[in-house]
Amino acid sequence: MFAWKRQFSIANTLLKTTTTTTARTMTTATPPSFQVFRDVPPLRQLRRTLLLSNRTVGLVPTMGALHEGHLSLIRQAATENTDIIVSIFVNPTQFGVNEDLSSYPRTWDSDVAKLEALNAELSQQNTSPGRITAILAPTSKVMYPTLPPSSEIDGDGSFVTILPLAKKLEGASRPVFFRGVATVCMKLFNIVNAERAYFGQKDVQQTVVIRRMVQDFHVGTEIRIGETVREEDGLAMSSRNVYLGVRRRGVGLVLYEALRAAEGAYLAGKGGREEVLDAARGVAKRVLDEQSWLGPAERALFEVDYISLADPDSLEELKVIDPAKGAILSAALKMAPLEESKPGEDCGLGDGKVPVRLIDNLIFKPRV
Ligand code: AMP
């Protein structure tokens, strides 16, 4: 049976004997149920202790601003491992030079509080063996020890590139994104040496890229995928949703609605590219037309970046869905900044001036 007390004593011993950074700003008086690591050697020491105690580690990589999507991955990790390490690192190399690195939401105190509450929930339920043992919140200098992290397309650095997967879909609009993601995940995998690492289906291309990287580089960490967690109305949870505000949030639902329309076509027996995608395109066109007819203080405009129907492994665009393989239906749209706001309107963080990229996907399961 799971020895929670023993875990606590392992963590406490390490707290006393290492130079680990403890929580930077713990807001509660009670001692934290996990350690916070800013550097690699103390984490490696914990990892060695866990290994020698026959414990298993699940890694949940995040960029913080935690929401239920992240927490669901941790809950899943808790069912399959004794110890969970959550990394919180806003990775500079996956943001393009014109992207929102500096404005990415950083919510350390509430992240720590959410993880504390989750550990309490896991202890009370006592159905999952795992608990959050550590947060890895490294500095950029720790993660990129030699050269400053570059976001330039031809910038210098030690990078992992997974081609051609990284060029497709999101990669077409964000050329350095998957190079940054693969590089930081490889670093995290090397540091934590977890039995399993957990990723959300919400970022489906990321799951395909990471699986390929693990396969091609013989990384000894098993990749596990958790379902997309949605708001009640279907909007996929995302740390960036705080920028939407009420008006753009409402219109942004078009993304899920469009995907569902295409899924409906697939479930009704259609398998040709155009007949499936036209269902989604029709929804997007209708909603954009409706918005265009409204005045600038009423509407929220958007641009569809792509709607893709792709092979689940290669991400090659499909002409026809192979019933034995199914497909990944994915889409991205850019919510434009609000043109005009009304007095007292909730326009979201950044007052509606920040463009917001929304991505979502559905997996079409094989028919046979
Ligand atoms: P991020 O902090 O946005 O980099 O996300 C960290 C992890 O959480 C990634 O594996 C994401 O795919 C996953 N994730 C983000 N949003 C959701 C969601 N709504 N449902 C499930 N997983 C998610």
Going by C-alpha positions, the residue among 328, 316, 203 that lies closest to residue 259 is 328
Over the stretch 359-368, which tens digit does the pLDDT of each residue have?
999 999 999 8
Q: Is 66 in the pocket of ligand 1 (CB under 6 A)?
A: no
Rounded to 5 degrees, φ, ψ at 209 are -65, -45
Q: Is 20 in the pocket of ligand 1 (CB under 6 A)?
A: no
Over the stretch 303-348, which tens digit does the pLDDT of each residue have?
999 999 999 999 999 999 999 999 999 999 999 999 999 999 999 9
What is the reported pTM? 0.93
- Cβ proximity of 196 and 208 under 8 Å: no
pLDDT at 29: 57
Length of the chain: 368
Q: How far, in Å, is the centroid of ligand 1 from the Cα of 342?
A: 32
Domain 239-364 architecture: 2-Layer Sandwich (3.30)
Q: Is 73 in the pocket of ligand 1 (CB under 6 A)?
A: yes
Tell me the pLDDT band of 2, cut-offs 50, 70 and 90. Answer: very low
Going by C-alpha positions, the residue among 74, 71, 72, 111 that lies closest to residue 90 is 111
Over the stretch 262-316, which tens digit does the pLDDT of each residue have?
999 999 999 999 999 999 999 999 999 999 999 999 999 999 999 999 999 999 9
Q: How far, in Å, is the centroid of ligand 1 from the Cα of 316?
A: 23
Going by C-alpha positions, the residue among 80, 82, 207, 101 that lies closest to residue 150 is 101
Active site residue 67: no
- Which CATH fold would you assign to the domain 2-226? Rossmann fold (3.40.50)
Tell me the pLDDT band of 6, cut-offs 50, 70 and 90. Answer: very low
**Other beta carbons within 10 Å of 346:** 12
Q: How far, in Å, is the centroid of ligand 1 from the Cα of 69?
A: 6
Over the stretch 25-82, which tens digit does the pLDDT of each residue have?
444 457 789 999 999 999 999 999 999 999 999 999 999 999 999 999 999 999 999 9
- Boundaries of every domain in the chain: 2-226, 239-364
pLDDT at 99: 84
Measured from the Cα of 230, ligand 1's closest atom is: 19
225 forms beta bridges with 199
Tokens at 180, concatenated: 């940054």
Residue with the two structure tokens 């889409």: 331
